[in-house]
Amino acid sequence: MDYYALNSLRENHAGWALLRAQNAPLALAFFIAAFTGPNQRNIGRQALIDTLDDVLFGLRDSLGEDKFPRPAAEYLDDWAAPEKAWLRKYYIAGQDEPVYDLTATAEDVVRWVENLRGRDFVATQSRLTGIFQLLKTLVQESETDPEVRLAELQKQRDGIDAEMQRIRDGHIKVMSGPEALDHFQQLTALAKDLLADFREVEQNFRSLDRQVREQIATWDGTQGELLESIFANQQDISGSIQGRTFQGFWDYLMSPQLRTELQDLLERAMQIEALARLDNIDTVANLHRDWLPAVEQTQATVRQLSQQMRRLLDDKVFLENKRIMQLIRSIEGNALAVRNQPPSGTFIEVDAQAVDVVLPFERPLYEPSTRVQLDDEVFTAEDAEVDSGALFEQFHVDKERLQDNIAMVLEESGQATLADVADAFPLSQGLAEIVAYFQLASDSPWASINPETSQQLSWTLPDGSIREATVEQIIFVRPT
């Protein structure tokens, strides 16, 4: 990201505005106390005002009554305003009181501020192990060669057999205390990140649905085309990467066997001696219980979006039917008005039913096309003999090889000119290879051509002679 992109974020992003706000410590402390700390969502307005009053009372008691003079309700309305959008204010069906939830942007800021405090113990080994495990799963599950997969499974089986034999021999390797703390910290961090992701998932679903509703509101085509477009968009919501990953998580969490296994693992983790003295060990046992409300709310949002879409369609059909009935009533009223005094002359013309009759002999007969006679006599040219060897001396410039040359040079430095690339990988195909480099530079966003500066390139012909070319300077930059 360059300066202009960062400056645009500073001016327009809600999270950056929260960090720059004068009452940012108050807002963040309240968000932690009301939402992220107890992991609560969909809090009613009065309950949220009571929580904020408690926070304000403690701050005013220690900092003075004039520190935060505004009432709690005004702070809530200010933080939920569209220009700030740190809280989402909405209504639940069947309730008159508005409810509030923390937006995904505000939660990202809360997580970032919490990480600023630093940690006495930073998990490194468990992250490295997790990276290796994810990488192995990615490579193994993407392999299509059955022999390679069988070999990998056999390797895992041999390792399991060897570990079982070591255990039978009495050599049991137990995770040490620091290793257990390392993995526990990584586990709690991933669990918190997963909880934070659900708000962003829900926001993405609402954004997709908003696009569909805007399309319905501005649609000018037919009803059938609108329905086809809506069903396609609905499939896009459920078939998107966001929808497929969320559905996979939901199926995993709703599996009775997997939930039982997860509960058993959590209970056994709490019994580890190295973790028993931790203050937040109880949070491990409630991981799946914290996930369920968040997932259910996201599922409820998807159901609500479907209901709203159906309601929009019903409203559109009702308006169209109403318009049709108005036209019919208008026609009937006009007919009744002229019933006693019909207009003179032709009032209306309606085409009678008719059948288009085409007699067989009215169709033109088949006419074969005229055949063109070609004179295929071959004459021998009397010109001088032409060397046909040039036809077999054509060659192809491999652009992938040239791209690899550029990438290898950029591994050692952030940027390089075409002359630098030619020094590392001499030109072997002459001018055609230079033209291919220019084409790569024109198509790549990570290269620029400077017409104001020139550079000298040279190459050696098969007969030993040297050719030189003066071309515009090309600068390749390593992709970010």
pLDDT score of 283:
63
The yes-or-no answer to whether 3-115 and 399-477 have a common fold is yes
pLDDT score of 459:
86
Please list, in sequence order, all residues whose beta carbon lies within 8 angstroms of the beta carbon of residue 284, skipping any fewer than 6 positions away: 184, 187, 188, 266, 269, 270, 275
Question: Sorting pLDDT into bands at 50, 70 and 90, what band is 180?
Answer: confident
pLDDT score of 295:
67
Residue 123 has pLDDT above 60, yes or no: no
CATH top-level class of 399-477:
mainly alpha
**Residue 391 DSSP label:** G
Which residue in the block uniquely carries the two structure tokens 């599996």?
A: 255
Question: Sorting pLDDT into bands at 50, 70 and 90, what band is 145?
Answer: confident
Q: Which of 231-245, 262-276, 345-359, 402-416 has the lowest mean pLDDT?
A: 231-245
Sort residue 194 into left (φ over 0), alpha (ψ -120 to 50) or beta: alpha
pLDDT score of 304:
66
Q: Which of 41-50, 65-74, 202-211 has the lowest mean pLDDT?
A: 202-211
The answer to whether residues 476 and 441 touch, using CB atoms and an 8 Å cutoff, is yes
Instruction: Kindly state the average pLDDT of the residues 126-144.
Output: 70
Instruction: Kindly state the average pLDDT of the residues 28-45.
Output: 85
Question: Sorting pLDDT into bands at 50, 70 and 90, what band is 79?
Answer: very high
Mean pLDDT of the chain: 78
Question: Sorting pLDDT into bands at 50, 70 and 90, what band is 461?
Answer: confident
CA dist., res. 235 & res. 230, Å (int): 9
Instruction: Kindly state the average pLDDT of the residues 185-194.
Output: 70
Q: Which has the higher per-residue pLDDT, 1 or 3?
A: 3
Instruction: Kindly state the average pLDDT of the residues 9-16.
Output: 86
Residue 276 has pLDDT above 80, yes or no: no
Give the three-state DSSP class for 376: coil
| All structural domains of the chain with their residue ranges | 3-115, 202-320, 399-477
Q: Which of 214-218, 265-269, 385-389 has the lowest mean pLDDT?
A: 385-389
Residues 336-392: tens digit of each pLDDT = 888 788 777 777 787 878 888 888 888 788 888 777 777 767 666 565 566 666 666
Q: pTM for the full model?
A: 0.45
Nearest to residue 447, comparing CAs of 403, 393, 412? 403
Q: Which has the higher per-residue pLDDT, 362 or 30?
A: 30
Q: What are phi and psi of 95, to 5 degrees?
A: -125, 140
Q: What is the CATH number of domain 3-115?
A: 1.10.10
Q: Which residues of 418-456 are buried (b: 16+ CB within 10 A; e: fewer)?
A: bebbbeebebeebeebbebbeebbeeeeebeeeeeeebe
Percent of the chain with pLDDT over 70: 71
Percent of the chain with pLDDT over 90: 3
Beta strands in 85-197 (DSSP E): 87-90, 99-102
Nearest to residue 298, comparing CAs of 198, 208, 194? 198
Residue 165 has pLDDT above 80, yes or no: yes
The answer to whether residues 103 and 203 touch, using CB atoms and an 8 Å cutoff, is yes
Nearest to residue 237, comparing CAs of 226, 225, 250, 246? 246
Instruction: Kindly state the average pLDDT of the residues 131-152.
Output: 77
The answer to whether residues 405 and 421 touch, using CB atoms and an 8 Å cutoff, is yes
pLDDT score of 446:
82
Q: Which has the higher per-residue pLDDT, 362 or 158?
A: 158
